[in-house]
Structure 1
Amino acid sequence: MGIQMILNAKAEYGVPVKIYTKDVDEESLTQLRKMSQLQFIHSHIAVMPDVHLGKGATVGSVIPTKNAIIPAAVGVDIGCGMNALRLSLKASQLPDNLSALRNAIERKVPVGFEMHKQIKSKASTLSPLDKKLQVITDKHPALRRMLRSFDSTWQKQLGTLGGGNHFIELCLDENQDVWVMLHSGSRGLGNVIGTYFIERAKKEAQSRFGHVPDKDLSYFAEGSANFDDYVEAVEWAQEYAFENRREMMRLILEAIRPLLPRFQMTKEAINCHHNYVQQEIHFGENVFVTRKGAIRAGLDEYGIIPGSMGAQSFIVKGKGNPNSFCSCSHGAGRKMSRTKAKHMFNQQDLIQQTQGIECRKDKAVVDEIPSAYKDIHEVMANQDDLIEVVHTLKQVLCIKG
């Protein structure tokens, strides 16, 4: 359907905000207007159809910046994203009762605040991460004081899910093929890195740059020591998040193999971020693109757009649309806060909305009820000029943090 709303800039340095939906609340619009006033935004801000209010920056926004990065726009779940893998199994080869599969995965992959009791990852994975991290913490030793048992914690959390909307699912596609899909990020250390540099950006903005439209839009200017150190740290956290998902996938496959017929992994495997920043060229300029709840959808580039725990999800291929900075939505997007969802719905509502899915159905996860999210089909219709659907998935098993 294309761009449906444009907020035109009024400030001296403002840029337009191009929005791929009409379903956007006033608080998010206010947040987007503030962001558009920053003088280093390149061309415009693109806003995906799963847009909703975020901390620091609006979730679903794609922010191209010249010579600056906004740490709060990247957020604290640095490198959060998705991993999906198709197996050589059909739906008919799954057991009628999936509880044993769910239990096996939960024994292998710690969820919520839990971590592995022992380090699970190989030295070949840990050693490069450790060397790069040492360089970062030598320059910023305060990071080590922000995470209890620093070294053992980040290593034991590699291959763990976390909480909130992070999940592991078994899904079936339109051909009744079985997929494993998961959603997670950079865990405790990514949060620490994000929190630490967000606060440094606020202090730097006050001392060097004067007024910003919102303190959460405080930024580092390219060329400063903080800028270079943040880029180094955020790249580390994004690499860690990628490896975390890969390690989790390995553990999931290890958990389910004894309970299923022999299977192989197909070549269809995707591992993509949706909270991150990287350098790209758009409209003839080399810029830093921050995707806050959005995935890259370059021409023929594969991505994952999950629905809620009771809705369909999609494997997609990008169309490389320049107006979206080659981006698309990262999911359905929340339509209400967790607090509001807990007030509006109860455990029975959750049970009803997740019928046929092997998952937690207790009141602790009511805030993840499908009705708390936007209609994924409407979200997909609003971005049909950004992506094409390759596979449609429906979960049969879901593990929440």
Structure 2
Amino acid sequence: MIEIKGKYNTAEVFTDEIEKETHKQILEMCNVKELENSTIKIMPDCHAGKGCTIGTTIIMPDDTPINPYFVGVDIGCGVELMKIQGDFTFEQLDEVIRKNIPSGFSVYEKTCDHAEEFVKKLNCFDQLKNKEHLYKSLGTLGGGNHFIEVAENKEKERFLLIHSGSRNLGNQVALIYGAAADKEGFLTGELREKYLQDMRLCQAFAEANRSSIGMEIIFRLGIQGSTECTTVHNYIEMNWDMITLRKGAVSAWPDEKLVIPMNMRDGTILAKGKGNQNWNFSAPHGAGRILSRSQAKKRLDVTEFEKEMTGIFTTCVSKETLDEAPMAYKPMEQIIDHIDDTIEILDILKPIYNFKA
């Protein structure tokens, strides 16, 4: 564990080593007066990010000013885990996804009434741009590290995992409130409350987005599926007289089922929380990057990427997805070695199919 002391706070980092840029970013957070009465705990998958360090958790009094960039632009991003039953080939699944689930910057051709209902409830609705695009984005995957995966547990039961967020909606909401914040980047008073309301709507949109993708796949394949859990990692949780911010971190309350995806090759940790207050009732959301996206594309090669994915059906190994190669992330063992205090590992779900935009 690493302790980083700043002017107003001290952060505990649950790993043995971190990069200089990550250390600098955490120290800057500890120098923020608005967080003077907060508890900062950093998860072992931490790495430098936009707004704040990925892997940040902060428990703070419920009247603490909020910096919308701490949550970030992909509000409510997370992973839905569905247990599935039925016969299909991976070629069929790949075709279903490519034909019916828009990915990257793509959206549907028609608007979705359900999406429109979410968007029109936002306090910042009048400030949103290209609303028709938002209405067409529910049920779309996105790009980057977002994925659709089929994995197996020890008993060879199959699971569908969907990693996606609030799409351009969360991005716009974050930018709108970020521009409205004070010179230190924080929201107070009525503006703060409006942001928290809109953040929760974006979180609900993201959850509906993942569910819509899952239901579309299940319907198109003619199989059965049921949700096991949904694990969210960019949001603020409201509890009693405190609030918990998690940026690239997930909740790990007592016996709470959760998933922690590692990378395209090694799969996903299925676990349950231990409710450890010293960890801010939280756990890491993934493996954490060791190479930035630009570094990965410069240093890694497709041939090595292909070898690492041997035995996993995927049509997505290419120069365009090199930044998501397993080698761009910290080894799974490095994360497992540090998380026993906060979660109990139930299984490792091994990937047998993976799709990334």
Give your verdict on TM over 0.5: yes
Q: Which whole-Å CA distance do the structure 2 matches of 1:63 and 1:319 have between them?
A: 18
After TM superposition, the structure 1 = structure 2 runs for residues 112-151 of structure 1, keeping only pairs within 5 Å, are 112-119=104-111, 123=113, 125-126=114-115, 128-133=117-122, 135-137=123-125, 141-143=126-128, 147-148=129-130, 150=131
| Structure 2 residue aligned with 1:100 | 92
Select which of 27, 30, 54 maps to 1:59.
54
Select which of 328, 344, 352 maps to 2:283.
328
Is contact 2:238–2:244 with CA below 8 Å preserved after alignment? yes
Give yes or no for the alignment of 1:25 onto 2:19: yes
Is contact 1:105–1:256 with CA below 8 Å preserved after alignment? no
What is the deviation of 1:380? 1.9
Is contact 1:79–1:241 with CA below 8 Å preserved after alignment? yes
Instruction: Give the residue type in structure 2 aligned to 1:50.
Output: D
Is contact 1:23–1:49 with CA below 8 Å preserved after alignment? no
What is the deviation of 1:366? 0.8
| RMSD of equivalent CA atoms | 1.7
| Structure 2 residue aligned with 1:269 | 228
Identity %: 31
> How many residues get paired?
353
| Structure 2 residue aligned with 1:260 | none
Is contact 1:63–1:291 with CA below 8 Å preserved after alignment? yes
Secondary structure, in 3 states, of the residue corresponding to 2:34? coil
354-363 or 37-46: bigger deviation: 37-46
Q: Which runs of 4+ in 1 moved over 4 A?
A: none
After TM superposition, the structure 1 = structure 2 runs for residues 76-91 of structure 1, keeping only pairs within 5 Å, are 76-88=73-85
What is the deviation of 1:126? 4.1
Instruction: Give the residue type in structure 2 aligned to 1:81.
Output: G
After TM superposition, the structure 1 = structure 2 runs for residues 205-220 of structure 1, keeping only pairs within 5 Å, are 205=183, 212=184, 218-220=185-187
What is the deviation of 1:272? 2.4
After TM superposition, the structure 1 = structure 2 runs for residues 183-222 of structure 1, keeping only pairs within 5 Å, are 183-201=163-181, 204-205=182-183, 212=184, 218-221=185-188
Select which of 161, 164, 168 maps to 1:181.
161
Select which of 280, 283, 291 maps to 2:239.
280
What is the deviation of 1:64? 2.3
Instruction: Give the residue type in structure 1 aligned to 2:200.
Output: E
* Alpha-carbon displacement from aligned partner over 1:159-185 (angstroms, at most 9, x marks no partner): 000010000001111110110001000
| Structure 2 residue aligned with 1:355 | 310
In the alignment, structure 1 segments of 5+ residues that lack a partner are 206-211, 213-217, 258-262
In the alignment, structure 2 segments of 5+ residues that lack a partner are none
Q: Which whole-Å CA distance do the structure 1 matches of 2:153 and 2:176 have between them?
A: 41
Give yes or no for the alignment of 1:311 onto 2:311: no
| Structure 2 residue aligned with 1:166 | 146
Give yes or no for the alignment of 1:227 onto 2:192: yes
Is contact 2:218–2:224 with CA below 8 Å preserved after alignment? no
Q: Which whole-Å CA distance do the structure 2 matches of 1:335 and 1:200 have between them?
A: 33
What is the deviation of 1:247? 0.8
Q: Which whole-Å CA distance do the structure 2 matches of 1:287 and 1:63 have between them?
A: 10
1:351/1:345 Cα in 2 relative to 1: closer, same or farther (>3 Å)? same
Secondary structure, in 3 states, of the residue corresponding to 1:350? helix
Q: Which whole-Å CA distance do the structure 2 matches of 1:376 and 1:254 have between them?
A: 33
Give yes or no for the alignment of 1:15 onto 2:9: yes
Higher radius of gyration, 1 or 2: 1
Is contact 2:77–2:233 with CA below 8 Å preserved after alignment? yes
